[in-house]
């Protein structure tokens, strides 16, 4: 198998930025967002009853957090974030111009 880069057409990217972005996200997701710039991790958004609502990959790209979600759940995810936003000093946007890719590479010997 050759090295490949594959466009994941079923993914969307949501950005969250602003003074309260890390504090806001940390209060509603399952993962620890103590990330260095240019790093990522997986996490989930749960309902108040603890049921899985969305899973995602979050990538820290100062000054933003970029969240990779399945395209079919983008609207619902944005709606939930807007509900939880309250008075947080953040901006939430769908980043339509960003695409998600995966790189498949052979291991180095």
Every domain of the chain and the residues it spans: 4-104
Inter-residue contact 19 to 89 (CB < 8 Å):
yes
What superfamily does domain 4-104 belong to in CATH? Aminomethyltransferase beta-barrel domains (3.30.70.1400)
Q: Which residues contact 75 (CB under 8 A, 6 or more apart)?
A: none
Question: CB count, 10 Å around CB of 30?
Answer: 13
pLDDT-based confidence at 1, cuts 50/70/90? low
Query: Average model confidence (pLDDT) for the chain?
Result: 92
Q: Give me the mean pLDDT over the 23-41 stretch.
A: 90
pLDDT of residue 80: 93
Task: For residue 20, give the nearest of 82, 94, 81, 91 by alpha carbon.
Answer: 91
Answer whether residue 97 shows pLDDT above 90: yes
- pTM of the complete model: 0.88
């Amino acid at each position: 198998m050759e090295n490949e880069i594959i466009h994941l057409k079923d993914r969307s990217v949501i950005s969250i930025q602003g003074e309260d972005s890390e504090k806001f996200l940390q209060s509603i997701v399952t993962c620890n967002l103590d990330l260095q710039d240019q790093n990522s991790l997986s996490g989930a958004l749960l309902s108040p009853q603890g049921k899985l609502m969305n899973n995602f990959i979050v990538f820290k790209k100062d000054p933003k957090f970029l969240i990779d979600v399945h395209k079919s759940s983008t609207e619902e995810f944005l709606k939930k974030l807007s509900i939880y936003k309250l008075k947080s000093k953040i901006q939430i946007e769908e980043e339509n111009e960003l695409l998600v890719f995966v790189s498949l590479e052979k291991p180095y010997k």
